[in-house]
Amino acid sequence: MTFLASGRRLQRLLLLVVFFLVFGYLSYPSLSRSQGWRDAEAYEEYVPTSFNWTSRPMKNPIPESSLIQLPEGQPRELPRIQHAFTQDELDKAHNETQFQRRDAVRKAAQKSWKSYRAFAWRRDELTPESLRGKDSFAGWGATLVDSLDTLWIMGLRVEFDEAVRAVGTIDWNKASSSYCSLFETNIRYLGGLLSAYDLSGQEILLKKAVELGDMLFAGFDTPNHLPANSYNFKRAKDGKLTASSRQSLAVLGSMSMEFTRLSQLTGDPKYYTIVEQLKRGLEKTQDQTNLPGLWPKYIDLIKGPRPTSDTLFTLGAQADSAYEYLSKTYLLLGGLDPSYKTMHIKAMDAAIKHLLFRPMLPSDDDDTPYETGSPPPDILFSGNAVSHERDKSNLQPRVQHLGCFAGGMFALGGRLFDRPDHVEIGEQLARGCAWAYEAFSTGIMPEVSELVPCEKKDDTEQQDLNQHQQCPWNETRYRIEKKKAAALSKSSSNSTPKDINNEDEHKKTLPKPFTKISDPRYFLRPEAIESIFILYRITGKKDLLDIAWRMFSAITKATETKFAFSAIEDVHPVATYPGLQQTVKMDSMESFWLAETLKYFYLIFSDEQKISLNEWVLNTEAHPFRRPKPEEYGSGGLE
């Protein structure tokens, strides 16, 4: 009887085990469904979106006679972008060290992707601590699409193939919200699809890109043919979208690469027509602003700049990628449109004059992030400028992490257009952000900060940024500027008690010459490593590899969670136990972590011909597009 009773208990136990296994399998997050998707395991190679945007009549059509064709002619043989690496530079010991670093980056990407696959599959983002999916970009799977080329580049072909099968089932007609951002959808989704197609040749990706391109094209079906960045799907279908003539510079100038590439791949000029019209509007207004050569953060392309209201100029948020795309679209068009070169050089020279500054750095016997006995580093930063009258500006030494891309932009354009002074400035900017990383205890710079610039000798003189001599440290001036920044913070109508308390705490630990941390967060952003990567590929300077490794080590240490990586609330760690400090996680992992940040880290430690800058040009979301090029340039080193 005892034996029989034990047998029954064993049977019941086995049944319970089977039940929980089946229940767990059915409820496992990776098998969840969300709106707009079919089950990946039962995919068809290509499932058309449920609404054909080309069948929708345009309310504000562009006459066929007004369509603008891509520039004709053979692509020009442009200057070599990458440093000519030699075998002496790429010795065995060097390669082994870098490949070990590369593999560490790959493991971080695999960890992030595996958790996204398990807990947020087909959602826009993974919340890396609560392990859920979150939709911030219309619910089409931003991380899925944004990461496609990263998976391919890292050789994760099983993951790539599964992701492509899932992408083939996206229905752009079904979204998690009633609208999307035209700008974000363009750079993340469309850019991701085009890049993955250029790399892999998978036709399904081009089909999905065309579907999405047709939907985004409807965002220009407005009376003034300017983009409606807040893209309401129902209003778009009904032909009722309207677009303000005054928009952010980034929206107006950051679609040229993706729409140009789509026209190149399809032969349909309608996409190129839209961005060429925007380019002509920017070209027309470039010398009409208060600071000729630069555009304000917001601009009216129809009525032109308003001198009294369009007064803020920056290379940071709401402007950044418009400047970035000038040289890159020139590359994408094979050098056949010289206006992009002219606009780029004008903009960079004006930025040097009005936006860039050299920080006042303490001597090595003060609190410094560089070694005792070494001279202060030769670095620059990009700030903001306010201008109320033509060709005069007041500098705001506010440094944005977003603006750290500028080093790569200057270096790339300098090499492309034979401006060695711009390459040097690019290096100073890239090293400036790297220096800012090492200035903080976590080894990461904050989202927005302010510091003390070197003074001009008089109000009319512009700094000679190429002068290597530093301005002397002035402790009295530093203390005055720090008090001013604190007073402005406390008097701000937007400041909360929490903000003020945080700033009071930061004042105790601010490295010199920083006077204020306006936003202490780190969002897993890529811009600093982006510039270090581009600078390394252009100059071949080996110390940049060690800088990149210190950045990667600091970022992963501060942001790693059990299952992935998370943005942090503050680049200053908080004390959790006596003698133990930790960062506070925000439970956020945006798609650019895999699409950009980890890709740049992987590429800088990879073979220098992997995504060679002689063969590829990367959009603002780090998606590489294949450049039209002379045959002798080769195949990009991806085979």
Give the residue numbers of the binding site: 620
96: tokens are 């082994």
Q: Spell 397-432 as b/e; 16+ CB within 10 A means b.
A: bbbbbbbbbbbbbbbbbbbbbebeebbbbbbbbbbb
Tokens of 28: 């496992």
Q: Of the residues 129, 161, 171, 184, which is catalytic?
A: 184
Tell me, yes or no, if 447 is annotated catalytic. Answer: yes
320 classed as catalytic: yes
Rounded Cα distance, 379 and 425, in Å: 9
Here the tokens at position 188 are: 């993340």
* Residue 560 designated active-site: no
Q: Which residues of 53-71 are buried (b: 16+ CB within 10 A; e: fewer)?
A: beebeeeeebeeeeebebe
Residues in CB range of 39: below 8 A, 6 or more apart:
33
Within 13 Å and on the Cβ side, how many CA atoms surround 602? 25
Distances (CA, A) of 595 to 126, 499, 504: 14, 32, 36
The partner residues of 394 in beta bridges, in order of sequence, read: 386
Q: Can you say which residues are annotated as belonging to the binding site for Ca(2+)? A: 620
Give the contacts of 519 (CB within 8 A, at least 6 positions apart).
Answer: 446, 447, 448, 449
Structure tokens at 418: 């034979």
User: How many residues can be counted in the chain?
Assistant: 639
Residue 92's identity, in one-letter code, is K
- Give the pair of three-digit tokens for residue 552: 């990667």
125 DSSP β-pair partners = 134
Given 162, 378, 447, 570, the catalytic residue: 447
**Shortest CA distance to 552 belongs to which of 97, 105, 12, 72?**
105
- The maximal CA–CA distance of the chain, rounded, in angstroms, is 103
Query: Is the separation of the CB atoms in 159 and 147 below 8 Å?
Result: no
The catalytically annotated residue of 258, 320, 590, 596 is 320
Which residue numbers are catalytic?
A: 184, 320, 447, 527
